Amino acid sequence: MKITPSDIADVLIIEPQVFRDERGFFYESFNERRFEELTGLQPRFVQDNHSQSVRNVVRGLHYQVGQAAQGKLIRVVAGTIFDVVVDLRRGSPSFGRAACIELSADNQRQLWIPPGFAHGFLVTSERADCIYKTTGYWSPADERTLLWNDPALAIDWPLRGAPIVSAKDQAGTPLAQAEVFS
């Protein structure tokens, strides 16, 4: 397993050790001891999620506030996504900055997103299945949506035509008005 920082230091790109043979491949998609050894972090994951989306879907940018803030460990098991995280930690030198990483079933990369970040993605394949662990339970009352195409975020989404976006996400909050983490 190899772990490298993304463009935002605390957001980590994880590349698992993949064992391939004539049958296919095997890799440990999560190993708590190894994760802690390599990151020094001890996240307690309480929920596993699976979302499937078709090409040109944008989901996000979502986050939960207060005690419901979630760390996320995400990977893609089918297709490809343009994954985006935005630093919403007010004291951070990268506050308001977006980091964009391609995650796919082919590159088998995972992303560790600490609490304090908004998260979303664009599907750039026919379909994408995202599997992710969270360190906090879903809490609708504490969920916030950052406007995915807020010009202040300057995210260069590789769109092919108008994306498919939920009404909730179309009504996202611009960064300037967003509830952030102190």
Ligand X SMILES: Cc1cn([C@H]2C[C@H](O)[C@@H](COP(=O)(O)OP(=O)(O)O[C@H]3O[C@H](C)C(=O)[C@H](O)[C@H]3O)O2)c(=O)[nH]c1=O
Choose, from 63, 119, 132, 137, the residue flagged as catalytic. 132
Choose, from 27, 62, 63, 137, the residue flagged as catalytic. 62
Cα 16 to Cα 133: distance, rounded to the nearest angstrom: 16
Catalytic (active site) residue 119: no
Catalytic (active site) residue 50: no
Name the minimum Å distance from CB 159 to ligand X: 17
119 is a site residue for ligand X (CB under 6 A) = yes
Cα 120 to Cα 58: distance, rounded to the nearest angstrom: 7
Q: Which is nearer to ligand X, 19 or 174 (CB)?
A: 174
- What is the separation of C-alpha 151 from the centre of its chain, rounded to a whole number of angstroms? 20
Stretch that binds ligand X, among 6-14, 101-109, 114-122, 156-164 (CB under 6 A): 114-122
Which burial class, exposed, middle or buried, applies to 172 when counting CB atoms under 10 A from its CB (0-12, 13-18, 19+)?
A: buried
Nearest in space to 64 (alpha carbons), one of 9, 14, 139, 120: 139
| Residues classed as catalytic | 62, 132
Positions touching ligand X (CB under 6 A) are: 49, 51, 59-60, 62, 72, 119-121, 138, 166
